[in-house]
Amino acid sequence: MDAQELRPIVSGLFAGSSTRTTRVGVEQELLVADAAGRTVPVPRLRALLAGCPLAAYVAYEPGGQLELNLPPSDSPASAEVQLRVSLRDVRDHLERAGVRITADPVDPRPEREVPLRLRSPRYAAMQRHFDTIGPAGRRMMRRTASTQLCLDWWPGQAGAEQWRALHLVAPFLAARYARSTGPESRLATWLAVDPARTAFDGRLLAGDDPVSAYVDLALGATRFVDGGPADHLTTLFPPVRPRGRYLEVRFLDAQPTSAVGEIAATLGGILYDAERRHRVLRRLKPMAGRLDELWAAAAAGDLADHGPSEVAA
Buried b / exposed e across 56-73, counting CB within 10 Å, b at 16+?
Answer: eebebbbbbbbbbbbebb
The answer to whether residues 224 and 125 touch, using CB atoms and an 8 Å cutoff, is yes
Task: Please give the C-alpha separations between residue 121 and each of 76, 126, 145, in angstroms, as whole numbers.
Answer: 37, 8, 22
- Examine residue 311 and state whether it is found in any structural domain, yes or no: no
> How far, in Å, CA of 99 to CA of 268, rounded?
34
- Examine residue 312 and state whether it is found in any structural domain, yes or no: no
> How far, in Å, CA of 37 to CA of 54, rounded?
24
Distance of CA 260 to the CA centre of its chain: 14
Backbone angles phi, psi at 30, to 5 degrees: -140, 140
| Among 127, 121, 99, 123, residue whose Cα is nearest residue 41 | 99
Residue 310, pLDDT score: 55
> How far, in Å, CA of 42 to CA of 22, rounded?
34
Report the DSSP beta bridge partners of residue 144.
Answer: 106
> How far, in Å, CA of 270 to CA of 44, rounded?
41
Residue 1, pLDDT score: 80
Residue 43, pLDDT score: 97
- Examine residue 125 and state whether it is found in any structural domain, yes or no: yes
Task: Give the CA dihedral 282, 286, 289, 293, nearest 10 degrees.
Answer: -100
| Among 273, 3, 11, 299, residue whose Cα is nearest residue 151 | 273
Q: How many helices (H) and strands (E) does the chain have?
A: 13, 7
Task: Please give the C-alpha separations between residue 69 and each of 26, 79, 148, 196, in angstroms, as whole numbers.
Answer: 6, 12, 9, 27
CATH number at residue 113: 3.30.590.20
- Examine residue 152 and state whether it is found in any structural domain, yes or no: yes
> How far, in Å, CA of 94 to CA of 52, rounded?
10
Report the DSSP beta bridge partners of residue 106.
Answer: 144
The pTM of this model reads: 0.94
Task: Give me the tens of pLDDT residue by residue for the chain, a chain 313 residues long.
Answer: 888 999 999 999 999 888 899 999 999 999 999 999 999 999 999 999 998 999 999 999 999 999 999 999 999 999 999 999 999 999 999 999 999 999 999 999 999 999 999 999 999 999 999 999 999 999 999 999 999 999 999 999 999 999 999 999 999 999 999 999 999 999 999 999 999 999 999 999 999 999 999 999 999 999 999 999 999 999 999 999 999 999 999 999 999 999 999 999 999 999 999 999 999 999 999 999 999 999 999 999 998 766 554 555 5
- Examine residue 313 and state whether it is found in any structural domain, yes or no: no
Per the structure, the complete domain to which residue 167 belongs is given by 3-305
User: Is the four-CA dihedral 153, 154, 159, 164 of positive or negative sign?
Assistant: negative
Residue 17, pLDDT score: 87
- Examine residue 263 and state whether it is found in any structural domain, yes or no: yes
Sheet strands (E) in the chain? 24-33, 58-60, 66-69, 100-102, 147-152, 240-242, 246-249
- Examine residue 8 and state whether it is found in any structural domain, yes or no: yes
How many domains does the structure of the chain reveal? 1
- Examine residue 126 and state whether it is found in any structural domain, yes or no: yes
Q: What length does the chain have? A: 313
What is the Rg, in whole angstroms, of the alpha carbon atoms belonging to the chain?
19
Residue 303, pLDDT score: 87
Residue 111, pLDDT score: 93
